[in-house]
Amino acid sequence: MKSIRTYLSDYFRSVNRTVLIATFAFTAILVVINYTIGIEKRINSFSSNWLKFTGFFVLYTVTFCTVHLGQLLINRKPFPGQRHFILLLLMCPAIFAAKITFDWFTHLTTDQLAYPWKQYWYQVLSWPFKCVLVSLLVWMVWKWQHNEKPVAGLLIKGFNARPYFLLLLLMVPLIAFAATRQDFLHTYPKFQRISFIEDHVAHPMLWKLLFELAYGIDFITIELFFRGFLVLLFVRFVGKDAILPMAAFYCTIHFGKPLFECITSFFGGMILGAVVYNTRSIWGGVIVHLGIAWMMEAAGYAGHLLFK
């Protein structure tokens, strides 16, 4: 824990306060607009995946580029002279917008199945397939940019997991509080989505556990992309200033989640970004993020038993 506190204190001492406040304010405005008029819901209501892709691409690009360019302006730093900086600013939102909207390979794999297996396997296979898609695109960009190894923070050597499990313990009271809220219970546990399977199998809990394992894969994808890719890819251009744009971008992908989760995602993104910046490894973030996700699943299940 001491090392994590050091990473955070060093980061907050070094960051420009005006940049920090401006980023808070900009992200807060986006959050208010989303939970007032429903940006995420409106994009998801579009009639085609290409329109949805365009909508999410615009949302993510405006967020990511505004914070990147805004802090360069406030810090009065010269625009990065390295090649491809602007192209990368556009490519990164495009990759995640594709991850959110395109599921043709999952459909191709499951469309021939009958009910309920078509619906079940579509949900279970979607996360692993999207992990493969994002990993492949991240690897291609990483190699194209001739970045140092390992790719996108996949460093295992010398990694110490203990502080991250301690950090998880600190999250227990917050998750317990969240589990008392109706918007949280409406979303969690995620395996509510596959309740239809219960009438068709002898041991439904086993199928729910398989769903949870697949769900967990998505958090590896998230850490690889946001911390390993968006932070470590842009460190060579802007140094520690890669963290805040990532955190704002990360907040926008939670626009369909409960408000409390969306707000805390920004601060969680900053914390994990500072950790990855110092360790050059995403595995601490994977432990924290995956642990929180599964604790939220357990809390949602318990909340339904207690409060529903």
- pLDDT tier at 209 (50, 70, 90 boundaries)? very high
Tokens of 73: 């302006």
Percent of the chain's residues with pLDDT above 90? 51
DSSP 172-186: HHHHHHHTTSHHHHH
Distance CA(125)–CA(235), nearest Å, equals 33
The better pLDDT of the pair 23, 152 is held by 23
DSSP 115: T
pTM of the model as a whole: 0.88
Lowest average pLDDT, out of 22-31, 105-114, 149-158, goes to: 149-158
In one letter, which amino acid is 280? Answer: R
> What is the pLDDT at residue 194?
87
> What is the pLDDT at residue 28?
96
Return mean pLDDT, the chain.
Answer: 89
Q: Residue length, the chain? A: 308
> What is the pLDDT at residue 43?
96
Distance CA(59)–CA(75), nearest Å, equals 24
Q: Is the pLDDT reported for residue 1 higher than 70?
A: no
Distances (CA, A) of 115 to 5, 14, 119, 196, 198: 50, 56, 7, 10, 13
Q: Is the pLDDT reported for residue 195 higher than 70?
A: yes
Q: Is the pLDDT reported for residue 157 higher than 80?
A: no
The better pLDDT of the pair 27, 257 is held by 27
